[in-house]
Amino acid sequence: MEQITNEGLILACSAVGAGLAMIAGIGPGVGQGYAAGQGAAAVGRNPGAKGDIMSTMLLGQAVAETTGLYGLVIALLLMYANPMLSKFLSL
Amino acid sequence: MGYGMMPMLLAADGDVDFSIHHLLGYEFMGTTVYLTTSHVCMLIIIATIMIFALVARKKFANAQEVPTGLQNVIEFVVEVLESFVSSAMGKHGKKYMYYVGTLFIFVLFSNISGLFGLRPPTADFGTTFCLAMITWFMIQYNNVKYNKLGVITGLFQPLPFLFPINLIGEIATPISMSLRLFGNIMAGTVMLSLWYGLMPFLAKIGIPAFLHAYLDLFSGAIQAYVFAMLTMVFVTDKIGDN
């Protein structure tokens, strides 16, 4: 255990944290899939309203995606612009 | 995410590079500000759009009754944007068509510029946050203009103790809008630079075309559409029935 430096520990934990943050991708995946399925069903019932259904679906999917993107931003921050490294090691 | 943090991205690996580079630093009011790759790429995109606009203007100086060639394309673009805005905003569409159209074209060109070897300016949080702030001020301007005192009382609807949540909801709009655009385009940029940086030579032939088609063209077009659409939806929501 003596060989582990502070910097190494922070980097390793940040990498694990980035991986964990991307679990957030599950939610948008389920949500977007559900919206797409409902959209397909709606087009099947009423093919004339395809344009409206498409735009509503895309908008809903984009909003559902936001939480996943927060996770992505956290992961990117941990991987590439780590605030903890500069704070604790004054790099 | 300031400019200061980004250059230390992946310092260990020289092959993978998707960071924003500083090209030229100068003193401005006591702090050093930089001309970055985002600015350069944005200027290239603006120049492209401007040249197209000037050509279109020249073309329309002697427009024909029955359009041909380029005039067809320009009329198609204008008609598509017009129907896009009026379908989302109804009778208010005429007033906002020019801003939303400009926004859509700029964001679309920015998003797909990764295809032409530029670093997309929308993969920089500075750009997307500014765009979202313009939208936010537009939302709040319309809120004050049409709802008058309802701006304050609306925060206490439907129940008074929901005030903090409503306030956060108002403030979160530009943050979520900008992070959505930034996150999508940044994810595409990271994926492509990882592929180009880490894959063996043979995998860089042909296969990136599919990645570009999905990450740059499809995702970029969807996000430009969504950004413009959300702008219109929020503004129309504040205008209400007036």
Across the interface, do A66 and B180 touch by the CB < 8 Å criterion?
yes
Of B184, B186, B229, the CB nearest to A76: B186
Residue B120: its pLDDT value, please? 92
B187 to chain A: closest CA residue: A72
How far, CA to CA in Å, does B156 sit from each of A90, B139, B151, B163, B167? Answer: 45, 18, 10, 5, 9
How far, CA to CA in Å, does B221 sit from each of A32, B74, B113, B185? Answer: 17, 19, 11, 11
Across the interface, do B230 and A55 touch by the CB < 8 Å criterion?
no
User: Coil, helix or strand for B100?
Assistant: helix
Across the interface, do B179 and A80 touch by the CB < 8 Å criterion?
no
User: At residue B175, what is the residue type?
Assistant: I
Per cent of chain A over pLDDT 70 is 97
DSSP-assigned letters across all residues of B29-85: TTEEEEEEHHHHHHHHHHHHHHHHHHHHHHHHHT--SS--THHHHHHHHHHHHHHHH
* pLDDT reading at A91 higher than 70: no
In 3D space, the residue among A52, A58, A59 whose CA is nearest the CA of residue B237 turns out to be A59
* pLDDT reading at A88 higher than 80: no
Handedness of CA B214, B220, B223, B228 (dihedral sign): negative
User: Are A67 and A24 a contacting pair, CB within 8 Å?
Assistant: yes
DSSP-assigned letters across all residues of B155-204: GG-S-GGGHHHHHHHHHHHHHHHHHHHHHHHHHHHHHHHHHHHHS-GGGG
Shortest alpha-carbon distance between residue B133 and chain A (Å): 17
B219 to chain A: closest CA residue: A62
How far, CA to CA in Å, does A72 sit from each of B80, B137, B227? Answer: 33, 27, 19
Query: Which two structure tokens, joined as six digits, stand for B181?
Result: 């655009």
Query: pLDDT tens digit string along A2-59?
Result: 788 888 888 899 999 999 999 999 999 999 999 999 999 999 999 999 988 988 898 8
Across the interface, do A81 and B222 touch by the CB < 8 Å criterion?
no
How far, CA to CA in Å, does B44 sit from each of B3, B39, B65, B121, B157? Answer: 21, 9, 34, 10, 46
In 3D space, the residue among B107, B6, B180, B114 whose CA is nearest the CA of residue A73 turns out to be B180
Residue B3: its pLDDT value, please? 40
Residue that wins the pLDDT comparison between A85 and B73: B73
Contacts of B142 (CB under 8 A, 6+ apart): B235, B238, B239
Task: Tell whether B230 lies on the interface with A, counting CB pairs under 8 A.
Answer: yes
The secondary structure of residue B124, as a DSSP letter, is S
Task: Tell whether B37 lies on the interface with A, counting CB pairs under 8 A.
Answer: no
User: Are B131 and B103 a contacting pair, CB within 8 Å?
Assistant: yes
Residue ranges of domains in chain A, CATH in brackets: 25-82 (1.20.20.10)
Across the interface, do B183 and A59 touch by the CB < 8 Å criterion?
no
Q: Domain ranges for chain B, please list them.
A: 68-239
User: Are B235 and B139 a contacting pair, CB within 8 Å?
Assistant: yes
In 3D space, the residue among A37, A43, A42 whose CA is nearest the CA of residue A64 turns out to be A37
User: Coil, helix or strand for A81?
Assistant: coil
Across the interface, do A80 and B19 touch by the CB < 8 Å criterion?
yes
pLDDT in tens for each of the 242 residues of chain B? Answer: 344 444 444 444 556 778 888 888 888 888 888 889 999 999 999 999 999 999 999 988 887 888 888 889 999 999 999 998 988 888 888 889 999 999 999 999 999 998 888 899 999 999 999 999 999 999 999 999 998 888 888 888 888 888 999 899 889 999 999 999 999 999 999 889 888 888 888 888 888 899 999 999 999 999 999 999 999 999 998 888 76
User: At residue B167, what is the residue type?
Assistant: L
User: For the stretch A43-72, what's the b/e string if a residue is b when 16 or more beta carbons lie within 10 angstroms of its beta carbon?
Assistant: eeeeeeeeeebebebbbbbbbbbbebbbbb
Residue B11: its pLDDT value, please? 43
Residue B6: its pLDDT value, please? 42
Query: Which two structure tokens, joined as six digits, stand for B144?
Result: 């004050």
Of A62, A77, A91, the CB nearest to B180: A62
- Other CB atoms within 10 A of residue B185 CB: 30
B31 strand-pairing partners? B28
For residues B45 and B110, give the distance between their C-alpha atoms in angstroms, rounded to a whole number. 7
ipTM of the complex: 0.81
Contact list in A for residue B6 (CB cut-off 8 A) is 80-81
